[in-house]
Structure 1
Amino acid sequence: MKTHRLATTEADFDARLAALTAWSEERDAEVATRVSEIIRAVRERGDEALVEYTNRFDRRNVQHASELVLGKEVLQAALARIPQAHREALEMAAERVREYHSRQRQESWQYHDEDGTLLGQQVTPLDRAGLYVPGGKAAYPSSVLMNALPAKVAGVGEVVLVSPAPDGVLNDTVLAAAAVAGVDRVITVGGAQAVAALAWGTDTVPAVDKIVGPGNIYVAEAKRQVFGKVGIDMIAGPSEILVVCDGKTDPDWIAMDLFSQAEHDEEAQAILVSPDADFLDQVAASMARLVPTLEREDIVRTSMANRGALILARDLDECMVLVNRLAPEHLELSMDDAEQWAKKVRHAGAIFLGRHTPEALGDYCAGPNHVLPTSATARFSSPLGVYDFQKRSSLIGCTPAGASRLASIASPLARSESLTAHARSAEYRILKAPEA
């Protein structure tokens, strides 16, 4: 099976690794123009444009936008239809995700300084959040849970789910997941037109404060273009996994862990780093033997050939240097004392500790969110969480004495910036000394 083989001792290692991990976010001008046209049409014509694009792109025959809205009874019916094992798995996963995220909820706080001035922070949830869920072949009920549940835990007033229904076909498991997660409204519209509707609102689709969830290139470009009007979670790149192994884990396990991300799409990236050359050979042999057993064999082969790698490092310390250089979306530390080694990690979306913690468990039911920063953005960003659906407002409340003291500080600073009104506004609050 074809994949890249690198060693940190090679003279051209840095250049080869940089080329392998480079990911261009260069925008397709034609896509950007088309998305801009769709957004403009939805802003100007609202539901009429939604119906037009839905019929054209999803091969439907919708007469009125109201036909795009699903009642909660439809979600409950889907929950009743899916196999009992799937329902139980959804409900157990939802409970774990809800429990984990409940610990992220931030609370308001305040205190008084020596002059009695009140200072603090008031935390409030968003009024409304929009969740985009792909339709058709790319149906991910797990993403419904991961995006909707943090919003519900945060106390968001309304969670609106949009998802296309090509040929009028709806995915029962996605609808069931929406029921389990407590989604408030489901609208069967997708693409850039759905993003535009969530950003500006139509008679049928309410305007939201933030849009989260994965989508194709048109959805990603639409999220980029509406950012500022609404918040977004991120512009995500292809899935990534970096596995660090000391050579003591079953090579079949490691091969399948790499495949678990490679099977997402041809641009996904799966990399193994180890100081054990023999182990790398064993994993390569396992990959060659196991890849024919996969339903997405062709995708995995392409992904591993284009962007996959087995890297030989000098030792585990050098492996950790590479971890922080690559800042991976998913990091598996398949090694002894994984928890201790994790303390050396500064940049990673999610860290999976030990040989018995495959990334796949995090995708579905471990509890932490699977919406993670990609393309080395873990250097400055974090997994989706409750905090993404909460806002913080500063609280300042002065007593007369407190205002006077603060004004004596603010006034000279304001005058140093030539902001006279600022200075005089503050100076009005300075207490005058009593006349003798």
Structure 2
Amino acid sequence: MGRRQRTGFGRLWLSTGSGNLADGILVAGLPVMATTVTTSPSLVAGVQVAFMTAVAAATLPSGVLVDRHDHRSLLVWSNVLRGLGLGAVVAAVVLGDWRLGAVYVAALLAGSTEMVADTTAEVAVPALVPRTALATAHSRLVGTQLAMNDGLGAPIGGWIAAGSMGAGMAVPAVLYGVAAAIVRPLRLPVVDRAPRRPAGTEVAEGFAALRRDPLLLRMGTASMVMNAGNTAFFAVAVLFVIGPLGLPRSAYGLVLLAAAVGGLVGSSVADRIVRAIGVRRVLQLSPLVLGGAYGLMGLVSTTGVAVVSLGVLGAAGIVWNITSRVVRQQRVAAPLLGRVSASMKLLALVAAPVGGVLGGLVADLAGVRWVGALGLSCGVAAAVVLWSVDPDREPLADRPDATARRRIIRRSTPVAPPTPPFPPIR
């Protein structure tokens, strides 16, 4: 890797670290800020609903923006807009004292712009490193996103937000500015882009390919159900921490750290698990493990059980996500892979706001412990959807060379772990 390439990727890497640290601080801090205004489960859950709605709405437009515009400009302006937007929200809080509304606005801003920034960073990598270094570069980016969002950002965000709403938004705003400043000198080659068809036409092709593949469609459906349960729990998780667990608000981020640690452990053993039990069993058992972790937290509300359950939740989620990515890459032709991936991602994201609303309603009507039972039900339902699948026998849709190129997916080795399924989902 040449010196200029190392410098270019280094800037992208540092910028991604700063931006994702801000994401982690903000996303973990916003529910804590909401509890300083209200303890209504529905209103607190609304923060997660707003965030995930914005992420879902930005998924497909982000892909179009990344394909059609200069990557450096997108990286700079997505961070600048986030920083300025949060600054405006802080000013509104100081001048108008509409605190709960400010939390919702910040959640919408964070969800919509995060998708653009992270997608652009991912797509920009091939222009900055040689082909032989792609796996290493993506591993560093993904590891940094996980560590900054959930390992470092979440506990810092919970602590700062418990002390001051203004600081909880001002610190991420500054970090977004730093991310923009780091990446601004980045020089990316100008790529001649071929004329493209209407965005709606290309998006429709991705959804059509997903519908034609029974296995991927089932996996997308299972992801949708699991993500509903996932968001239902995390939408009111802060109330679980300060309620049944009896911990202070500032401990919220530290509790979430257990899920991040579990995700890192899961990423290190995922390939061995797939080789040991096969893709089919991973797809079938992961939802049951996830659901069981939610149910156990609702049933036995002690700090130790919650920490262990969150660790298991993070590990099982990352194993599921890695396996899902491998299956998808083996089954979809390269020209359709991005759009099919976005289609499956959107299914899960669309379910998130629904899950957040359900989590708030269940907590309102029956108590926050019963949200664990809702997560358990979603895990069992997802397992039922996948119980009869066999990836090695399902026909490969949209591949003219399907017979010749059929492979045993369980032998595949993922090169970079995706983000775990606890919020924020990317």
TM-score, length of structure 2 as denominator length: 0.22
Greater Rg by CA? 1
Bigger share in strand: 1
